[in-house]
Amino acid sequence: MRSEFARFAVLISLFGVLMCPKPMGLLAATGDDTLHGSVDEALVGAELLKLADSDGEVRRDAIQWLANSKVGRVGDALEAYRLGKLYFWQGKLVTATPVEGSGSKYLTLQDALTGQPIYQAEATLLDPLLVVAKADLKSLVASRKERPAVVDAVRVLALYAEDPAVRLNAVKKLGDLRNADYIDELEEVCNQDSNDQVIFRAKESVALLQLIDTKKDLTVRQHAAKELGEMASARAGPLIEDLLENENTDESLRKVCQQSLAQIESYQGVVRILGYIFSGLSLGSVLILMALGLAIVFGQMGVINMAHGELMMIGAYTTYEVQQAFGHSMPDNPVNEFFWVALVVSFFTTACVGLLMEKLIVRHLYGRPLETLLATWGVGLMLIQIVRIRYGDNIGVNSPTWLVGGVEVFQDFHLPYNRLFIIGLTVVCVAFVYLLLNHTKRGLLLRATVQNREIAATLGVNTQYEDGFTFAFGAGLAGIAGCGLTLIGGVTPDMGQNYIVDSFLVVVTGGVGEIAGVVCAGLGLGVLNKILEPMFSTIWGKVLILAFVVAFIQYRPAGLFPPKGRLADV
């Protein structure tokens, strides 16, 4: 027992070390204040109003002026203009949101420049927003001729947006466009922006644009290449490769490029490997989460639950129902609390289903593992069909907002929040199960029932209750897994089928009934899968994993942590 715990602890600390960010540029997207426009707002407002002018030339001049205004919000207004979502109403430029239930006939208004909602003249507490009929609004749309200028302006103005994430995107995009015209704007961003990440990417974009500009001075280009090498810029990689292949590239430039490429590739190589490891951990944690419930039921009761995948699916659909109940939808109406509630509700719903299964069916098949396999498969079939009839074949579950996107732990190494959350969830679940089984009275009763049913019964343990509890608990864990899986995958009636074989393999490889075994096997198989995937294709990778497990079972037929002694004859 102690040795297993030690193994477990080592694994967790390894994981922690891996998550520790490298000192090289720890950059998290922090909210910073914006680059204030150097022009006063009233002037901007006046120019913006010119978009409503009927004269095309006036509009064009306005657009040009606005492009140089360096006010971020102007970009939003212009984007609305491009999409036809800008309106002229009572001498003001506004954007509009439809009132719910009115079928877009009635709308509430926001100021186009400031984004502030427009209130009624005599605002009441209940209903402060001004509601206007669509017919009263005059829609403004950018004409075909104006569109390129507007798009251009939006791009440039994004550099001055309030949200650093938007600026970051803009900076990257301008570099990718390979249009040298933007170099000046980008350099200004380098000098004046307050967010380190934005500055970094801006510098990268500038260097990229300088490098590919064949008209530029050679020393400038060499300097750019060198800088890109030091930055280990991933974006520069293909560009530099192209340059090296091009015969016309100057020799001195070529040397610098080669050096930079080497730097880039070594860094990106490390990032790539870390990426695989993280994917492996992520996949491993998913496998563990799924296999945990299964291992408990199988290990503690000797029952094979082929409906485990379907229980997971029910957890996912429960999450959907909770989402609908809360009215959460992205991106319009996020109600993020639904997710925590969904976790809890999924657990209890699937636990109930599991309890029902146990009482009606599994209880009567105690000691006959192959029969339980068949009976539970039958239950699974029915569950799939029930869900399919009720919900159809595909529904959408949206993640809560705080799980969208990711954190750039260090340069180019992104860790998506949803996968991090699942890893965290797995750790919590495993710890909980371990503590429950080994450090609580409930767990003790459970283990007693499993190890020697008759004696436990004579000691007053209600073995039937324990069985029900175990099965329900295992089912509940499946429900949590299902809830977690909605974050990373589609929700369909037969999603369970995709995971059931993998879960079994994890349980079988890890050793029946051993939590530590499940953890090791899950992580191992996950990482192995992700390492094999890029080497061979996804499918061959999977085939190899299956072959590996088959081979592994030859070598250790009872798994990584086999049950020893008299119990081994199950």
Partner 1 sequence: MFDKADRILTLVRGALHKYAPGIAVACGISIPCFYLAGWITIDTVNMLGRYLALALVALSLDLVWGYTGMLCLCQSFFFALGGYAMGMYLAHHGGPEGIIDHAGWKIPACLYILFSDVEGALTPWFWKPFYFLPATIALGLFIPAFVASVIGFFVFRSRVRGVFFAVLTQAVTLAAWLVFCMNDMKLCGTNGLTRFDRLAGFPLNDEKTRLGLYIITLAALVLVYWLCWLIIKSRLGRVLVAIRDNETRLRFAGYKPYLFKMFVFSVSAMIAGLGGMLYAPQMGIFTPTNMEVRESILVVVWVAVGGRGTLGGAVAGTLLVNLLYNYLTSQHEFMGLVWKPDYWPFVLGSLFIIVVLFCPDGIATIWKRLTDVSKKSAPQSEGTR
DSSP 556: S
Nearer to partner 1, 128 or 378 (CB): 378
Of the candidates 245, 187, 175, 255, the one whose C-alpha atom is nearest the C-alpha of residue 213 is: 175
Cα separation values, 294 from 97, 191, 308, 467, 554, Å: 48, 57, 7, 14, 22
The verdict on 547 binding partner 1 (CB under 8 A) reads yes
Q: Which stretch binds partner 1 (CB under 8 A): 122-130, 151-159, 256-264, 547-555?
A: 547-555
The verdict on 555 binding partner 1 (CB under 8 A) reads yes
The verdict on 356 binding partner 1 (CB under 8 A) reads no
Nearer to partner 1, 317 or 504 (CB): 504
Cα separation values, 20 from 15, 17, 115, 511, Å: 9, 5, 40, 31
The verdict on 24 binding partner 1 (CB under 8 A) reads no
Distance CA 132, CA 136 (A): 7
Cα separation values, 346 from 391, 400, 420, Å: 17, 16, 20
Nearer to partner 1, 518 or 549 (CB): 549
The verdict on 568 binding partner 1 (CB under 8 A) reads no
Nearer to partner 1, 145 or 364 (CB): 364
**Binding string, 312-351, against partner 1, x = CB under 8 A?**
----------------------------------------
Nearer to partner 1, 386 or 459 (CB): 386
Nearer to partner 1, 183 or 520 (CB): 520
Phi and psi, residue 333, nearest 5°: -135, 75
Considering the complex, what minimum distance in angstroms separates the CB of residue 300 from partner 1? 14
Question: Which residues, 358 to 397, sit near partner 1 by CB under 8 A?
Answer: 361, 364-365, 369-371, 373-375, 377-382, 384-385, 388-389
**Binding string, 259-298, against partner 1, x = CB under 8 A?**
---------------------------------------x
Considering the complex, what minimum distance in angstroms separates the CB of residue 349 from partner 1? 20
Q: Find the farthest-apart pair of alpha carbons in the chain and give their distance in angstroms, rounded.
A: 95
The verdict on 553 binding partner 1 (CB under 8 A) reads yes
Q: Which stretch binds partner 1 (CB under 8 A): 64-72, 131-139, 398-406, 543-551?
A: 543-551
Three-state helix/strand/coil letters over 325-367: HHCCECCCECCCCHHHHHHHHHHHHHHHHHHHHHHHCHHHHCC
Nearer to partner 1, 331 or 555 (CB): 555
Of the candidates 58, 49, 121, 56, the one whose C-alpha atom is nearest the C-alpha of residue 91 is: 49
Distance CA 185, CA 177 (A): 14
Instruction: Tell me the number of residues near partner 1 by CB under 8 A.
Output: 37
Nearer to partner 1, 390 or 441 (CB): 390
The verdict on 539 binding partner 1 (CB under 8 A) reads yes
**Binding string, 496-515, against partner 1, x = CB under 8 A?**
-----x--xx--x-------
Distance CA 474, CA 292 (A): 7
Nearer to partner 1, 189 or 307 (CB): 307
507 CB-contact burial (10 Å; exposed 0-12 / middle 13-18 / buried 19+): buried
The verdict on 532 binding partner 1 (CB under 8 A) reads no
Considering the complex, what minimum distance in angstroms separates the CB of residue 408 from partner 1? 35
Q: What 3-state class would DSSP assign to 131?
A: strand
Q: Which stretch binds partner 1 (CB under 8 A): 20-28, 139-147, 335-343, 540-548?
A: 540-548
Nearer to partner 1, 49 or 373 (CB): 373
Distance CA 267, CA 333 (A): 41
77 - beta bridge partners?
none
DSSP 569: G
Considering the complex, what minimum distance in angstroms separates the CB of residue 370 from partner 1? 5
Distance CA 378, CA 307 (A): 8
Distance CA 310, CA 384 (A): 7
CB atoms within 10 A of CB 463: 16
Nearer to partner 1, 444 or 543 (CB): 543
The verdict on 495 binding partner 1 (CB under 8 A) reads no
Considering the complex, what minimum distance in angstroms separates the CB of residue 452 from partner 1? 21
Q: Which residues of 148-176 are buried (b: 16+ CB within 10 A; e: fewer)?
A: ebbebbbbbbbbbbeebebbbebbbebbe
Binder among 174, 281, 549, 560 for partner 1 (CB under 8 A): 549
The verdict on 65 binding partner 1 (CB under 8 A) reads no
Nearer to partner 1, 17 or 370 (CB): 370
Of the candidates 280, 231, 302, 217, the one whose C-alpha atom is nearest the C-alpha of residue 260 is: 231
The verdict on 542 binding partner 1 (CB under 8 A) reads yes
Distance CA 570, CA 567 (A): 6
Residues that bind partner 1 (CB under 8 A): 298, 304, 361, 364-365, 369-371, 373-375, 377-382, 384-385, 388-389, 501, 504-505, 508, 539, 542-543, 546-547, 549-551, 553-555, 557
